[in-house]
Chain A
Amino acid sequence: MEATAPVAATTAPIPALTPQNAWQPLPASEWNAAAARHLLRRAAWSAQPAEVERAVAEGLPATLNRLFPEKPTRFPRPESIDHLVEAMPSFNTRLRATTDAFEKRAIQKERRDREQSVQQETTIKWLQFALRPEVSAQEKWTLFLSDIYVVSFEKVRNPGFIHLHHAILREHGLGSAPALAKAVSRSPAMIRYLDLQESKKSAPNENFARELFELFTLGEGNYTEQDIKQAARAFTGYRVSTNPSGARAAAQKSKAGRGAGGFYFDSRQHDTGSKTVFGSTGNYTGDDIIDLVYKQPAAATFIPHEMARFYLTDAPFPREYLATLGSWWASQSFNLRALARRFFGSRLFYAPAYVGNCIKCPFQFYFGLLQDLNLDVTPIPRQTISPLRQMGQMPFQPPNVRGWVGGRHWINSATLAARRQLVQNLFTPFKESNLNADEQLEIASSRAAGRDRFYIDTSRLQRFSKTPPVDIADTFLKTFLTGTPSPAYREEVIRFITGDKKPVQHLARVRDAGIALLQSPGYQLC
């Protein structure tokens, strides 16, 4: 049984730290393996021993520079998106050529199915990309931003636009926050997702302006309905072209989206009149509105607050601590990289209350499992994307514009069962001859690329065949759990692996011990 609605938690205490000193850098003397493990688990997907060692040797500031680099690593656009873009004109020609409503629908359905399968393929490629340890922190940061600047494939329906949106988040994600907001306002996926496309001079659509204030930059209570109405007028004329060869698309500047169609500005649909927003009046453009947003006090604490929720705790976070971080951030011209380094390098980030008490999101649970077990992404949607959906986090399809709520909302009896099942699957070899032809091709091409570890089988457990149960238990506990195991807990694991000492059963017990530890409550936390 589970609670359908998690009980509200109380404020976590932050002992010995004041709002003034909480964000000061962690003293070098406190930087050690335990701290490095905490950083790697929270900022990325897992703490691999080699990565921990490297982080300790390099020191905290250098590690942060590496985790949050000045230049992002691009996630290349999969070729299947290019092919889809190339195929679009022919769909359009066929649609124009018929006047029959049924045939039109059949063509539209064919196009939808094609888009769906390209999106799935892109998702698998992204999972393979994000699993790489050197970009794990970057991709988690992109995930964090995409949980603020939410779009969903469910509505956008265009894999190229979804890819471009995340490329924008990556490109501007460690730059200036206002520049990020401006780039997102031109993201074709966002323009479609929040109906900016429909917004015209004579009938401005308020959806984007409302979410810009409420969910992207300021939060509820920091603007009026009048501000939204006026700001909506400034965002009129933002348009998206899906025609790659059209003249309009020539205006499209972004390299990532070249050939895919994209953003253009239709000045005829733009309301050039005077607007009053946050008490200021002028002939504002959309960009002007974003500059005005970042003059509001609430903008300085909004992203820090979102970071605390995503990276630190799902318990309410004390305002006075946000205020000090926010005012410091404003003084840094809202630079996101500076904010990330300050946040992850702070004394507060390493406070005991925040260690080992964060419920892993399904992505983190999945990536962490693969990294901890040294496995590759199985390039088969039903074995990889379906478990994510069952655990409650369908890639590129957040439930609504608020994104994933996270924290205790991830956990109910069904999602826990899905987590247990995923672990079980990763320890269960699948018969390749049972896969369909497409799936066998995917497996073959993954193998060719050197990614061929899809599950733990007996051969991979073989190295434990002569290891004493005590050592196996200690290895598992150290790798899989945060903190120091209690003697009773350790004893329990040793006793289980020891079993009745029949050697035939030894490896089966090692396997079962691994499965149970990865299914246990402790492994759901980081």
Chain B
Amino acid sequence: MNHRTSSLPTTRREFLKLTTGGIGLLAFSNFAPSFLIESVRASTPRPERDRSILVIVQLAGGNDGLNTVIPYEDAHYYRLRPTLGIPKDKVLRLTDTMGLHPGCSELNALFKDGKLGIIQNVGYPNPNRSHFRGTEIWETATDSDKFVSTGWIGRFLDNTCAGSPELDAAADPSAINLGSELPQTYLAAQAHSTFSLSPGQLRRSAGRNLAFLESLVKTPADANAQAGAHDNETYLKQTMMDALVTEKRVQKILSGYKPGAAYPGSTFGQSLRSIAGLIAANLSTRVYFVSLGSFDTHANQSNTHQNLMRTLSEGLAAFQKDLEAHGLADQVMTMTFSEFGRRPMENESKGTDHGTAAPLFVMGSKIKGGLHGTAPSLNLQRNQDLAYSTDFRQVYSTVLQRWFDCQTAPGILGDTFKPLGFV
């Protein structure tokens, strides 16, 4: 046996060839990827390709919203930010009063083209300032005193996929995460196919070793195996086979991908490149999640934040340009979120502490650009926090109802939240 090429099927056609070529489907079903089995049994067509897609960008650590979208005509801003305030002449002007951080020149251009929307002052009642809990609130979309174990996208998948098993049987994951830790956003009550792709995973998994691992997954291991009612080995084999097959497909797609834009070399930029490649490969995946970290700028934040803004801006702009080059831009909306904004008043270490509300970005060819919602009032005492004016679940509600055309948004979000005008 040649271990350098794997005999595993990577496409439905290959799989069908295998199953009609002598290996019985049932015999194979103990360890074949579940999606292949399901779709062969059901002979379902692939889901339509022109579905809307959402890319979620997490700014982990708490992005300083006030230095991202800057009220450069507000004297209070410069009072609260004596050293960190961005001088008026450096701000990239969006309107007569609001502007972007100087690191965001690409985002500024997108704003001028109407492809970037800014939703101002987004938060929720009784804000939590813990990274852990704050992130959980945003990901699970609950009130700050309620705890649930599922994420808002997980519940969306529960809703859209319930009663239509052919979606789960599709060859593509319902949701993909760029990173090794499954975001809470994806946790669901029902089983959905999701795939996590960590940056190092692709480089290492090639070659002889992987082919051998695959053959071990395929070969029944135990001489005395009895198909029990609760067979964890089959479960593990199936999950691992699914992971390996998807990994290999993804690897194949990405190694052959020709982007229509130059991406920055940052991990974030490369992750967005991968997402564009997967979208361009016509995967039926509807949600992608990618995280950009280090926003927890307690001290000497000026340079750090400048670099972060540039990484974000360059990455998002390359992504948008790439999608446009592939004619996919109409299908995709990208949105950012962060667990909290930072304290309006800078601290004595030339940094900012955990705060509350902040603006977030939405990007896409089909979205309504410009400023949405109202800017926060900065007429604040020392160390006072911003009072939010748009609930983050209004943003989710807009995405669910108007972008995904999902009629059960109130059920998913636990209440009715008035959609916003960005879609």
> Would B236 and A524 count as touching, CB distance under 8 A?
yes
* Per-residue B-contact encoding for A480-508, CB less than 8 Å = 1, 0 else: 01111111110011011000000000000
Q: A residues within 8 A CB of B243?
A: 1-2, 413, 416-417
By a CB distance below 8 angstroms, the chain B residues around A100 are 348
Q: Say yes or no: A1 contacts B195, CB within 8 Å.
A: yes
**Choice from B201, B233, B348 contacting A525 with Cβ under 8 Å:** B233
Say yes or no: B228 contacts A12, CB within 8 Å: yes
**Binary contact readout B228-253 vs A (1 if CB under 8 angstroms, 0 otherwise):** 11111101110110110111000000
Interface flags for B25-40 (1: CB within 8 Å of A; 0: not) read: 0000000011100000
| B229–A413 touching, CB < 8 Å | no
Q: Which residue of B lies closest to A512 (CB)?
A: B209
Which of B157, B226, B235 has most A Cβ within 10 Å? B235
Q: Cβ of B383 < 8 Å from any Cβ of A?
A: yes
Contact indicator A414/B182 (Cβ below 8 Å): yes
Alpha-carbon distance between A426 and B243 when the two chains are bound, in angstroms: 22
CB <8 Å contact, A3 and B223: no
In the assembled complex, how far is the CB of residue A222 from the closest CB belonging to chain B, in whole angstroms? 22
Partner of B230, one of A3, A10, A516: A10
A21 to B391, CA, bound (A): 59
Residue B349 CB within 8 A of the other chain: yes
- Stretch among A101-109, A277-285, A372-380 lining the B interface: A101-109
- Say if the beta carbon of B224 comes within 8 Å of chain A: yes
Decide: A520 and B132 in contact? CB cutoff 8 A: no
Chain B residue at minimal CB-CB distance from A12? B230
Residue of B nearest to A521 (CB): B236
Complex alpha-carbon distance, A101 and B384, angstroms: 12
Query: A384 near B: Cβ within 8 Å?
Result: no
Q: Does A97 contact B (CB under 8 A)?
A: no
Q: Which residue of chain A has the shortest Cβ distance to B192 in the bound complex?
A: A4
Please report the C-alpha to C-alpha distance between residue A485 and residue B216 in the assembled complex, in whole angstroms.
11
Q: Are A485's CB and B182's CB within 8 A?
A: no
**Interface residue tally for chain A (C-beta within 8 Å):** 69
| Contact assessment for A13 and B193 in the assembled complex, using a CB-CB cutoff below 8 Å | no
Tell me which residues from 161 to 214 in chain B have a Cβ below 8 Å from any Cβ of chain A: 173, 177, 179-182, 186-196, 198, 200-201, 204-205, 208-209, 212-213
Give the residue among B179, B193, B220, B230 with the most A Cβ atoms within 10 A: B230
Query: A5 near B229 (CB under 8 angstroms)?
Result: no
Count of A-B contacts judged by CB separation below 8 Å:
193
Interface string of B46-66 (1 = CB under 8 A from A): 000000000000000000000
* A485-B232 in contact (CB<8A): no
A376 to chain B, nearest CB (A): 24
- Provide the bound-state CA to CA distance between A353 and B227, in Å: 10
Expressed in whole angstroms, the minimum distance between the Cβ of B260 and any Cβ of chain A is 28
B116 nearest CB across to chain A (Å): 31
**In the complex, which residue of chain A has the Cβ closest to the Cβ of B196?**
A414
Once the chains bind, are A4 and B154 in contact (CB under 8 Å)? yes
A242–B247 Cα distance when bound, in Å, is: 50
Q: When the two chains form their complex, are residues B221 and A515 in contact, meaning their CB atoms are under 8 A apart?
A: no
List the A residue with the shortest CB-CB distance to B383: A101
A313: interface (CB < 8 Å) = yes
Contacts of A486 in B (CB 8 A): 219-223, 225
Q: B217 an interface residue at 8 Å Cβ cutoff?
A: yes
| B353 CB within 8 Å of chain A | yes
Considering only residues 332-366 of chain A, those with a C-beta below 8 Å from chain B are 352-353, 356-359
Chain B residues, CB < 8 A from A424? 204
Kindly identify, within residues 89 to 141 of chain A, every residue whose CB is under 8 Å from any CB belonging to chain B. Answer: 100-103, 105-106, 109
Kindly state whether residue B298 has any CB partner on chain A within 8 Å.
yes
Q: Using Cβ atoms and an 8 Å threshold, which residues of chain B touch A412?
A: 182, 194, 196, 239
Shortest Cβ distance from A509 into B: residue: B208
Cα–Cα, bound, A11→B230 (Å): 7
- Those of A389-432 within 8 Å (CB) of chain B: 389-390, 400, 407-408, 411-418, 420-421, 424
Report yes or no: A520 in contact with B217, Cβ–Cβ below 8 A.
Answer: yes
Which B residues touch A488, using CB under 8 A?
219-220
Q: Which residues of A lie under 8 Å from residue B181 when comparing CB positions? A: 389-390, 414
A432 to B287 alpha-carbon distance, docked (Å): 41
Q: Is there contact, CB below 8 Å, between B177 and A517?
A: no
Chain A nearest CB: distance from B336 CB in Å? 22
Kindly report which residue of chain B lies nearest to residue A508, judged by CB atoms. B208
Instruction: Tell me whether B216 and A516 are in contact (CB under 8 A).
Output: yes
CB distance from B402 to the nearest CB of A (A): 25
Task: Identify the closest chain B residue to A513 (Cβ).
Answer: B212
With both chains docked as a complex, state the minimum distance between the C-beta of A369 and any C-beta of chain B, in angstroms.
Answer: 16
Residues 346-405 (chain B) with a chain A CB within 8 angstroms = 347-349, 353, 382-383
> How far, in Å, is B319 (CB) from chain A's closest CB?
23
With a CB–CB cut-off of 8 A, which chain A residues contact B246?
1, 413
**A492 with B215: CB separation less than 8 A:** yes
- Does A6 interact with chain B (Cβ within 8 Å)? yes
Q: Is A315 an interface residue (CB 8 A)?
A: yes
Interface residue from A2, A390, A496 paired with B242 (Cβ < 8 Å):
A2
Which of A12, A101, A417, A520 is in CB contact (< 8 Å) with B216? A520
Q: Is there an interface contact between A516 and B212, defined as CB atoms closer than 8 Å? A: yes
Known: A102-B347, A482-B222, A521-B237; 4 extra A-B contacts, CB below 8 A, are: A1-B193, A109-B298, A353-B228, A414-B180
- 10 interchain pairs, CB-CB under 8 A: A2-B242, A3-B192, A5-B188, A102-B348, A357-B233, A483-B225, A484-B222, A492-B219, A496-B3, A512-B208
Closest 3 CB pairs of A and B: A414-B196, A3-B191, A315-B230
